[in-house]
Structure 1
Amino acid sequence: MSKTKQQSKTKTTALKMPHRTAPLPDTLTPVPGYPTKLCIYKLAASSYWWVRYYDGKIYRRSTKTEDKNKAYAFAKKFYDEIQLKRAQGLAVTSKTRFEACAAAMLKTMEAKVARKELTQDTYDIAKLRLNKTVLPFFAGMDVVDVHYEKLEAFLLMLSHKGGAKGFGKENEQLSSSTVNSYLKLVRAVLNQAFKSRFIPAVPTFPTVNVADNARGYFGTREYSDLWRRALKLNGKQFDVRKIPDKNGEEGKGQFVETVKGNNKGRLVRRVRITHDLHELVLFMVNSFMRPTDLKNLQHKHVQKVERHGCKFLVLNLPPSKKHDKPIATMELAVKVYDRLTRKHKAAGLGVGVNDYVFMPQYSNRDYAYKEMARQFDVLLWSTGLGKCVFHGT
């Protein structure tokens, strides 16, 4: 026999041989008195009998015995265990539990954060919502049993006041966009289960009509009012005080200009307006930056450019919400940047490449951002152009 024919015969023989973990056909035996989908069998990799049951997916387990009668008894208990967990709405195996798939989904998100495809904040919010609201509702469930009716019940829970525990105020009605974000999180878990071949398909989800609420904006006159008022407020100090009503109950915090001897109500905090506020308003409008990017803006991210007689800045900001392209500013942003840098240098603050452009005195940039927000709150209150949220109170 030629070498080629011998190799072909060897391959054919190998293909006909069952895998060591596959059931030996001659040993497949249905359990008497039970559905034919419940059977015991042997395999080449073990001397024990094994039990197998098919119920939309295959469940198998070793009986840990070579005695056929004991294997029958084990198979019956195995079947009863599956039926009991099914009746209770629990997962038959731990790896197909909803929480196990949620943990796998979070691992996938962690990898995306490491690759800078997701922000850390996005991951933290997803983890918080899972632990506080989603997992308590779906705990112990098999992903196979998460159907439309269960998703509809979850939506009903979210739609009632206080339904989403641990996120926002306990008795606050969730907005439709927030409810929709919870459903997207559940869908992400079931997508993970589908990719792991635990479910044949992702179930149909109930729909939530999300209103298209465009963000507010300032017109030309309002913008002018803001930067002019910010200039006038520079150096002034304001109190946030909670003043009791006629029943002695504290209301929401309100701004009052700091005056010596004014002890009315409880002092929550004091806010001093700095020159940064005026420059911040001008710089944001002329640089097209998002407010949250201001806290991370360092001098090394700023490049001065002069082209065809026009001066502007090129900002190479750290990636944020998938935005990683340079920003070309308007010409006024150059003047603001130079003015701000001179003032900081005169005040003895750092203006090196690794120093921050806005409020460089604060190494904690989250705190710096809160300071910016508090000063802007005062500005909105003073101009009557917005609803104050009193950051940090």
Structure 2
Amino acid sequence: MKPKHTFITAAETLIRDGEARVRMGQNSARLVPDYKDRLRCHCAPFFGDTPLANIDSAMLRRFRDELVAKGLKQATVLVVMSFVSKTLRMAHDDGLIRQMPAIPRKGQKPSPRPAFTAATYTKLLTTLKQVEKGKPVIAFKGNRVDWELRAIVTFMVNTFTRPGDVFALKNEHIIVVPEDADGPAYLRIDAPSSKGHEAPIISMPVAVPVYQRTIERHRKAGFGKPDDYVFLPSKKKRAYAHELVRRQFRLVLKHAGLLQSTKGVEHSLYSLRHTAITLRLLHAKDLDLLTLARTARTSVEMIDRFYASSLTAELNRDKLHSFRRPTRFLTDGVSPVVAKGSCA
């Protein structure tokens, strides 16, 4: 007789709970497809109809080792093991198992996606403009790269948005805040909750004309209403819209010779968010990390671990070497005198 409570039945319960949380706006729509992929591709083939009561730490270690043997990256192994952990935790909370087995984990080293430099970002935009004109024609399954891919790229770099979130954006989520005495116009993006963050995103000024041109083009095609999606509004299946843009972007990167960073790591759509944050870290004047973290819907810790990890002190040596008040520390042709209040 087939056991009543198996890993698969427990995982299906977790997925149903995820669907409910997505409907309530607590998680992004990407959560459920990700859960289903982890169950179908990795967990179901290994656990099958194994009763929950028979899953112990030794079995979980074998499962982890099998994932590693498949050649999966460490980050992928970690998210799959996290799915297993959540499944068993819910089973424990529901009284289906008496004790939660220890989940084997391995410390994750920060592995940030590479950002584009100012030079490579300029090259990317130049390539996108050429491709729009058909020089050359680049398409994925009959969907030709046009003006909208460049709009998405520029929008992401000037709004700090995550790839999954940008395809969930609707026009009703965006307000154009006009120019005033404090500065130029910008977008206030009150997007659905993402990664547990709900604060509005404050864009860079460049995002305003990018958004305005985008919505004007869509209005000519019958879209642009408040409840229409900002990008690819004709694609009702947002996972498909995301995947289409991801594939088109990869083809453009290959054509431009920008698929990999100088360290051999592949660029992706997520590199655009990384680029947005990195450029602000490099070029913003006196911007504190908390403000940047709030508008990028992340934390100061995450910026330090993943986004600022590629920056060195030498890149901001002008700030490092600056003084609040005039000092005799630097003198012409004379040995430097230690400034008052400094350590030497």
TM-score range with shorter-chain normalisation?
0.5 to 0.7
1:174 aligned to 2:72? yes
* Alignment-derived partner of residue 83 in structure 2: 185
More helix by share: 2
Q: For 1:120-146, what per-residue CA distance to the aligned partner results, in whole angstroms no more than 9, with x for missing partners?
A: 432333244335543454445444443
* Alignment-derived partner of residue 295 in structure 1: 167
* Alignment-derived partner of residue 65 in structure 2: 156
1:357 aligned to 2:230? yes
Q: For 1:152-186, what per-residue CA distance to the aligned partner results, in whole angstroms no more than 9, with x for missing partners?
A: 2222333323xxxxxxxxxxx22222223333233
TM-score (norm 2): 0.62
Matches of 1:176 and 1:232, distance apart in 2:
37
Q: For 1:173-221, what per-residue CA distance to the aligned partner results, in whole angstroms no more than 9, with x for missing partners?
A: 2222222333323323332343244544322333334443211111111
**Match runs of 1:97-176 below 5 Å:** 97-161=6-70, 173-176=71-74
**Match runs of 1:1-40 below 5 Å:** none
Which of 303, 324, 327 aligns to 2:201? It is 327
Report the CA distance between 1:95 and its aligned residue: 5.3
Q: Is the 8 A contact 1:304 1:334 kept in 2?
A: yes
| Structure 2: unaligned runs, 5 residues or longer | 261-265, 270-344
Matches of 1:196 and 1:106, distance apart in 2:
15
Q: 2:150 is aligned with what amino acid?
A: H
The higher-RCO structure (CA 8 Å, 6+ apart) is 2
1:385 aligned to 2:249? no
More strand by share: 1
**SS of residue paired to 1:186:** helix
* Alignment-derived partner of residue 214 in structure 2: 340
Change in CA separation of 1:352 and 1:383 when aligned onto 2, cut-off 3 Å: same
The alignment of Structure 1 onto Structure 2 pairs a total of residues equal to: 262
* Alignment-derived partner of residue 245 in structure 2: 372
TM-score (norm 1): 0.55
Matches of 1:147 and 1:160, distance apart in 2:
20
Matches of 1:110 and 1:358, distance apart in 2:
24
| Structure 1: unaligned runs, 5 residues or longer | 1-89, 162-172, 241-254, 256-267
1:203 aligned to 2:101? yes
Q: Which runs of 4+ in 1 moved over 6 A?
A: 388-391
Q: For 1:99-130, what per-residue CA distance to the aligned partner results, in whole angstroms no more than 9, with x for missing partners?
A: 55445444444443343333443233324433
- Report the structure number with the largest CA radius of gyration: 1
**% identical equivalent positions:** 27
Q: Is the 8 A contact 1:235 1:275 kept in 2?
A: no
**SS of residue paired to 1:310:** coil
Report the CA distance between 1:223 and its aligned residue: 1.6
Q: Is the 8 A contact 1:238 1:272 kept in 2?
A: no
